[in-house]
């Protein structure tokens, strides 16, 4: 295989560079590698200020062209040149009339600018509905702060876009989570984001627990975490808590006497089960255990 003329010979590179993070130098290469393996953490600026400013410019241009078109309509109606007086009722006349090119050029200019304006409006609407996930931004901050991972790898004007661990709220205000995840339970989200932050600073046992699968660590101790595993773990915890609450209530009502106690149990247990359902989104297991309990 011929050597590359741009640097490292191609023959010295691995067959699948995406599987070899050590080939990604600190800076944009390693940051891109991190985001590519963990797209849920990808946050970028939407540049809302610039987008709105350009929309205002385009709007101003269209207002100017609109007035030009209306003014041309009035001048055409009173004109005796060619068929200009018919342009407002017969656009086809502009195609055959020698004087029609100016009018057509204006219409074409308006059409093109209006199309760009509408596309920008739709784009801004889509991006405007997106926000950022602070828990995931903090994971990025921890990664950038880690001495063996990011270690504040960027040194240009974009280095403060995500903020830092020392100043977590110092991120750009218009960052957005690019890859929108499907809804997950609050408990699953906490486990995923919380353990993701801790795993790079602690021992291998926590890293293994947070990834929920054995992976060969690279020199940066990067791990691709399984989101479905966190959801499964969350549902398991929720089901166990639900079963404990249901059978605990049954045992208490059967073996502990006292009207006041029974009233407290009858109110408190359903409330705790409801909170469990909100936190773990395990309504199916709640229904199952409730049926078994009755």
Q: What is the phi/psi pair of residue 258, to 5°?
A: 125, 120
Average pLDDT estimate for 196-225: 48
What is the per-residue pLDDT for 211? 47
Which has the higher per-residue pLDDT, 56 or 220?
56
Cα gap 159→161, rounded to integer Å: 6
Q: What is the pTM of this model?
A: 0.64
What is the per-residue pLDDT for 210? 46
Q: What are the distances in angstroms from CA 217 to CA 29, 112, 142, 187, 190?
A: 19, 53, 18, 27, 23
| pLDDT of 148 above 80 | no
Which has the higher per-residue pLDDT, 95 or 203?
95
Residues 6+ away with beta carbon under 8 Å from 169: 163
What is the per-residue pLDDT for 263? 65
What is the per-residue pLDDT for 194? 60
Which has the higher per-residue pLDDT, 290 or 249?
249
Helix (H) or strand (E) holding 31: helix 28-37
Per DSSP, helices labelled H in 90-215 are: 93-96, 100-128, 134-145, 186-199, 204-211
Which DSSP category does 175 fall into?
A: E
What is the per-residue pLDDT for 129? 85
Cα gap 58→275, rounded to integer Å: 50
Which has the higher per-residue pLDDT, 145 or 96?
96
| pLDDT of 219 above 80 | no
Residue 178's CB is within 10 A of a number of other CB atoms, namely 16
Question: Percentage of the chain surpassing pLDDT 90?
Answer: 29
Q: Which residues of 210-220 are buried (b: 16+ CB within 10 A; e: fewer)?
A: bbbeeeeeeeb
Each residue of 149-186: pLDDT tens digit?
655 578 888 888 999 888 889 999 999 999 877 666 66
Which DSSP category does 183 fall into?
A: P
Each residue of 23-49: pLDDT tens digit?
888 888 888 888 888 888 899 999 999
Per the CB < 8 A criterion, the answer to whether 284 and 275 are in contact is no
What is the per-residue pLDDT for 90? 93
Burial class (CB in 10 A: 0-12, 13-18, 19+), 9: exposed
Average pLDDT estimate for 227-249: 65
Question: What is the residue extent of each domain of the chain?
Answer: 48-128, 183-294
């Amino acid at each position: 295989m011929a050597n590359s003329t741009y640097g490292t010979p191609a023959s010295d590179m691995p067959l699948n560079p995406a599987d070899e993070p050590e080939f990604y130098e600190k800076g944009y290469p390693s940051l891109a590698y991190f985001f590519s393996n963990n797209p849920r953490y990808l946050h970028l600026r939407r540049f809302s200020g610039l987008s709105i400013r350009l929309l205002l410019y385009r709007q101003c241009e269209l207002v100017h062209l609109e007035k030009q078109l209306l003014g041309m309509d009035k001048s055409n109606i009173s004109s005796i040149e060619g068929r200009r007086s018919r342009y407002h009722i017969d656009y086809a006349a502009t195609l055959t009339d020698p004087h029609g090119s100016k009018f057509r050029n204006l219409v074409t200019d308006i059409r093109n600018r209006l199309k760009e304006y509408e596309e920008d409006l739709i784009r801004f609407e889509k991006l405007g509905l997106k926000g950022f996930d602070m828990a995931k931004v903090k994971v990025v901050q921890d990664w950038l702060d880690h001495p063996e991972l990011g270690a504040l790898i960027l040194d240009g004007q974009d280095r403060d876009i995500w903020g830092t661990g020392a100043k977590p709220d110092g991120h750009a205000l218009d960052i957005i989570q690019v890859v929108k995840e499907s809804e997950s339970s609050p408990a699953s989200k906490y486990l995923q984001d919380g353990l993701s932050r801790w795993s790079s600073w602690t021992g291998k046992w926590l890293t293994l627990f947070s990834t929920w699968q054995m992976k060969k660590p690279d020199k940066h101790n990067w791990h691709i975490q399984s989101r479905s595993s966190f959801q499964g773990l969350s549902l398991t915890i929720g089901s166990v808590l639900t079963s404990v609450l249901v059978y605990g209530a049954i045992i208490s009502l059967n073996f502990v006497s006292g009207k006041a106690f029974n009233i407290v149990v009858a109110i408190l247990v359903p409330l705790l089960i409801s909170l469990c359902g909100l936190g773990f989104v395990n309504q199916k297991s709640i229904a199952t255990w409730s049926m078994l309990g009755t």
